């Protein structure tokens, strides 16, 4: 149980990078971008095949992320220059990427079990530091009977993901970033303020998919393989993370919204892990659970709000009738 | 400063819906001129604004700003030189962003946007000082989302955003039409002040004839895609609504049709 929760947090933090990408397209640019399902695999596949062919894992990861960036840019071009509806541009790119990913990988699954991935390299450095023994010592003292094999992934990934979060926060506050946000808010206005909305959308969707592909590249190395179908439903998981995160942690400022997205991604993984522990649920039920989770996250805040509002009104009515009775 | 040379636009050419929105328009604006534009609904006033801003490109004819041909310069490039306020108070600001962020975006209008913080301490002070001139108390609400402002407050903000970088040309398209009379009055007051302060070359569309007469140094009247009347200087100062209606009747041989135009 503890181990599987630990695993959930571990992969949740990696998937959070994908969720940040989805936040950029879906929330900031108001662009429902389905490229994600394809670009996640592009990142995973290109990185895996590169590693298998002897490219250093760090470089392979960067290559994967860049491929995702380019895929996103193409979606942006289809939408802005080709004047194709946003949803459709993403769908077209998604199915195009399926074939491209297969070409890149050469086969449906690329295994890295015999290769050294970025995480194994980190682990090699890490094991000399003795930090694992320290954390596991605490866990054992707290009464855990089984402890995680390594803390490196979760700690390094928290640092990397938070780093990306802070970069995103900063970027969205720069002059370019403000224009990007306005593009998702009021295109006519920002164009009249001399911003080239087409290039902002192209670059914005590019960055979004770059993050998605980076996440894919890391997930592949975490799991030890890339599969051409591993991106199916990824956009929904990204949306679930964004929506669940916002429902739990709020979205008042950008800094809060981005940390909420990360939190949402982790919570999502935990919910899935817990659901899998339930006897009658199978892994095939995950998509249904995801859908239900998103529905709850969308409806619950509104219902809570409506409840509060109703209580407030009832109280006011009660006060008023009390006053009338007194008089 | 601004020249339109034989500009024509036809919408839906060759269909029963054909509309000659602009017909061979020639217009020369000197630097600092403040022109009010009147005309009935569908006369082509907004189309004229859109041709100048680059939102539309003319079928024939050319547009020059500062003797530079800009006919095919895309809108976002041209807007380094042009400030605009739209009729719809929602159109000129980004509602989910704060007042200071909106101002920062407007501040970057005539500069290259960089990867540097948009809202700096120095700019904040500058924005605050400017907002104070509006007398709406917006200077104390820099971090409020613009979506929370009333239509009048937003329009005042849009006006500030359009002008404080001192654009070569200011385009106002019925920018008080959506406001109640007292707010409209306030916006007009602010308009007059900033135009005077920066000596902005301005085109202002209005349906309020009195306003068109009171403001600016020149008045043009449009009808069916043409400029049918162009008056400036002393002649404009002495002009009355009655004169305008008479003049319209003389030129067109019919009554001025828009009742909205006579109101006010
Ligand atoms: N994009 C377009 N496609 C087709 N017809 C258009 C388009 N834009 C404007 N028109 C037509 O061109 C004519 C001029 O429109 P325009 O908006 O310039 O009028 P206006 O003088 O601004 O009127 P109003 O006072 O109602 O704002 C109208 O008949 C309008 O229907
Ligand atoms: Mg109009």
Q: What is the pLDDT of residues A84-106, one digit of tens each?
A: 999 999 999 999 999 999 999 99
pLDDT, tens digit (0-9, with 9 covering 90-100), for A154-182: 999 999 999 999 999 999 999 999 999 99
Report the alpha-carbon distance of residue B153 to residue B146 in Å, rounded: 9
Q: What is the pLDDT of residue A191?
A: 95
A135-149, A198-212, B166-180: the lowest-pLDDT one: A135-149
Asked if B101 has any chain A CB less than 8 Å from its own CB, the reply is yes
Interval A33-56 mean pLDDT = 98
Of ligand 1's listed atoms, the one at least distance from the Cα of B258 is 25
Asked if residue A255 lies in contact with residue A169, where contact means CB atoms within 8 angstroms, the answer is yes
Query: Rounded to whole angstroms, how far apart are CA atoms A274 and A183?
Result: 39
Alpha carbon of B63 to ligand 1 centroid (Å) = 19
Report which of A178, A6, A149, A68 is spatially closest to residue B120, judged by C-alpha positions. Answer: A178
The neighbour count for residue B122, using CB atoms within 10 Å, is 8
The pTM of this model reads 0.92
Other beta carbons less than 10 A from residue A271's beta carbon: 18
pLDDT digits (tens, 9 = 90+) for A292-304: 998 998 899 899 9
Inform me whether the C-beta atom of residue B154 falls under 8 Å from chain A C-beta atoms: no
Residue B247 domain-assigned? yes
Mean predicted confidence (pLDDT) in A233-251: 94
Q: Are A175 and B104 in contact (CB under 8 A)?
A: yes
Mean pLDDT for chain A overall: 94
Strand partners, A225: A111
Chain A residues touching chain B at CB-CB below 8 Å: 170-171, 173-179, 181-182, 185-186, 188-197
Contact yes or no for B173/B49 (Cβ under 8 A): yes
User: In whole angstroms, what is the distance from residue A76 CA to residue B165 CA?
Assistant: 31
Strand partners, B69: B64
* Separation between Cα atoms, residue A269 and residue A249, nearest integer Å: 16
Q: Which two tokens stand for residue B147?
A: 């979506």
Q: Classify residue B226: in a domain, yes or no.
A: yes
Comparing CB atoms, the residue among A173, A175, A194 nearest residue B79 is: A194
What Cα–Cα distance (Å) separates residue A158 from each residue in A152, B167, B207?
10, 47, 60
CA dist., res. A178 & res. A199, Å (int): 14
Q: Does residue B152 belong to any structural domain of this protein?
A: no
Q: What is the pLDDT of residue A137?
A: 87
The verdict on a CB contact (< 8 Å) between B76 and A197 is yes
DSSP string for A164-216? HHHHHHHHTTBHHHHHHHHHHH-HHHHHTTT--HHHHHHHHHHHHHHHHHHHH
Name the helix (H) or strand (E) containing B228: strand B226-232
B76: domain range? 2-81+167-263
Q: How do the domains of chain A map onto residue ranges?
A: 2-230
Going from the Cα of A189 to the center of ligand 2, the distance in angstroms, rounded, reads 17
| Cβ contact, residue pair A192, B113, below 8 Å | no
Tell whether B211 is covered by a domain: yes
HSE-up of A252 (CA within 13 Å, CB side)? 4
What is the pLDDT tens value at each position of chain B, 264 positions in all?
A: 899 999 999 999 989 989 999 999 999 999 999 999 999 889 999 999 999 999 999 999 999 999 999 999 999 999 999 999 999 999 999 999 999 999 999 999 999 999 999 999 999 999 999 999 888 999 999 999 999 999 999 999 999 999 989 999 999 999 999 888 888 999 999 999 999 999 999 999 999 989 999 999 999 999 999 999 999 888 888 888 888 888 888 887 776 665 544 444
- Residue range A178-192: mean pLDDT, rounded: 96
Residue from A299, A265, A272, A298 nearest A287 by CA: A272
- Return the structure tokens found at B206: 């209005």
| Among the listed residues B37, B32, B29, the one whose alpha carbon sits nearest the alpha carbon of residue B2 | B29
Q: CB B75 to CB A188 under 8 A?
A: no
How many domains are there within chain B? 1
Whether complex ipTM tops 0.95:
no
Average pLDDT over residues A179-203: 97
Phi, psi of B8 (to 5 degrees): -130, 145
Give the other-Cβ count within 10 Å of A296's Cβ.
14
Minimum-distance ligand to the CA of B260?
A: 1
**Residue A152's closest CA among A114, A120, A186, A104?**
A120
Q: Residues 6 or more apart from A62 whose CB is under 8 A from it?
A: none
Give the ligand 1 atom nearest the CA of B45.
Answer: 21
Say if B121 is an interface residue toward chain A (CB within 8 Å): no
Task: Tally Cβ neighbours within 10 Å of residue A180.
Answer: 25
Beta-carbon separation of B118 and A174 below 8 A:
yes
Q: Give the CATH number for residue B14.
A: 3.40.50.300
Q: How far apart are CA A242 and CA A254, in angstroms?
A: 13
Q: Please give the average per-residue pLDDT across A137-164, as a whole number.
A: 90
φ/ψ of B23, rounded to 5, equals -125, 110
Say whether residue B79 is in contact with chain A using an 8 A CB cutoff.
yes
Residue A145 has a pLDDT of 80
Query: Chain B contacts of A190, Cβ < 8 Å?
Result: 94, 105
What's the pLDDT at B263?
44
Cβ-contact A201, A31 below 8 angstroms: yes
Question: pLDDT value at position B257?
Answer: 62
């Amino acid at each position: 149980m503890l181990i599987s929760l630990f695993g959930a947090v571990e992969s949740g933090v990696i998937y959070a990078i994908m969720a940040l990408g989805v936040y950029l397209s879906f929330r900031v640019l108001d662009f429902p971008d389905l490229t994600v399902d394809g670009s996640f695999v592009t990142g995973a596949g290109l990185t895996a095949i590169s590693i298998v062919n002897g490219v250093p894992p760090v470089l392979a990861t960067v290559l994967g992320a860049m491929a995702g960036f380019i895929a996103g840019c193409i979606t942006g071009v289809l939408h802005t220059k080709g004047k194709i509806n946003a949803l459709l541009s993403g769908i077209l790119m998604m199915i195009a990427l399926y074939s491209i990913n297969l070409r890149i990988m050469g086969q449906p699954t690329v295994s890295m079990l015999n290769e050294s991935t970025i995480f194994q390299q980190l682990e090699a450095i890490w094991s000399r530091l003795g930090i694992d023994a320290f954390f596991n010592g605490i866990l054992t003292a707290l009464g855990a009977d089984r402890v995680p094999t390594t803390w490196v992934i979760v700690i390094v990934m928290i640092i990397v993901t938070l780093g990306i979060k802070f970069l995103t926060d900063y970027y969205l506050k720069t002059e370019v970033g403000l224009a990007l946000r306005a593009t998702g808010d009021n295109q006519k206005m920002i164009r009249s303020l001399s911003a080239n909305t087409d290039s902002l959308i192209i670059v914005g969707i590019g960055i979004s998919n770059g993050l998605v592909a980076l996440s894919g590249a890391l997930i592949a190395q975490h799991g030890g393989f890339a599969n051409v179908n591993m991106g199916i439903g990824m956009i929904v998981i990204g949306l679930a993370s964004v929506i669940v995160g916002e429902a739990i942690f709020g979205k008042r400022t950008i800094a809060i919204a981005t940390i909420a997205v990360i939190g949402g991604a982790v919570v999502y993984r935990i919910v899935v892990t817990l659901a899998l522990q339930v006897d009658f649920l199978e892994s095939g039920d995950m998509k249904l659970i995801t859908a239900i989770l998103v529905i709850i996250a969308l409806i619950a805040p509104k219902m809570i709000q409506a409840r509060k509002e109703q209580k407030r009104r009832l109280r006011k009515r009660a006060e008023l009738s009390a006053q009338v009775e007194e008089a | 400063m601004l020249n339109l040379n034989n500009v024509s636009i036809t919408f839906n050419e060759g269909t029963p819906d054909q509309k000659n929105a602009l017909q061979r328009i020639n217009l020369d604006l000197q630097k600092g001129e403040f022109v009010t534009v009147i005309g009935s609904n569908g006369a082509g006033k907004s189309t004229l604004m859109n041709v100048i801003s680059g939102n539309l490109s003319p079928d024939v004819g050319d547009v020059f700003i500062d003797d530079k041909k800009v006919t095919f310069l895309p809108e976002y490039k041209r807007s380094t030189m042009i400030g605009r306020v739209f009729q719809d108070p929602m159109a000129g600001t980004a509602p989910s962003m704060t007042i200071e962020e909106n101002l920062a975006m407007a501040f970057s209008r005539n500069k290259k946007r960089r990867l540097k913080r948009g809202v700096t301490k120095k700019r904040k002070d500058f924005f605050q000082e400017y907002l104070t001139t509006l007398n709406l108390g917006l200077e104390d609400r820099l971090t409020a989302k613009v979506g929370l402002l009333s239509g009048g407050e937003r329009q005042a903000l849009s006006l500030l955003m359009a002008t404080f970088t001192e654009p070569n040309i200011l385009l106002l398209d019925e920018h008080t039409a959506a406001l109640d009379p007292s707010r409209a009055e306030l916006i007009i007051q602010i308009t007059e002040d900033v135009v005077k302060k920066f000596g902005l070359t301005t085109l202002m569309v209005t349906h309020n004839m009195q306003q068109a007469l009171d403001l600016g140094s020149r008045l043009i009247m449009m009808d069916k895609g043409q400029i049918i009347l162009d008056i400036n200087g002393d002649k404009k100062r002495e002009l009355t609504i009655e004169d305008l209606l008479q003049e319209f009747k003389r030129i067109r041989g019919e009554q001025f049709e828009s009742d909205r135009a006579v109101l006010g």
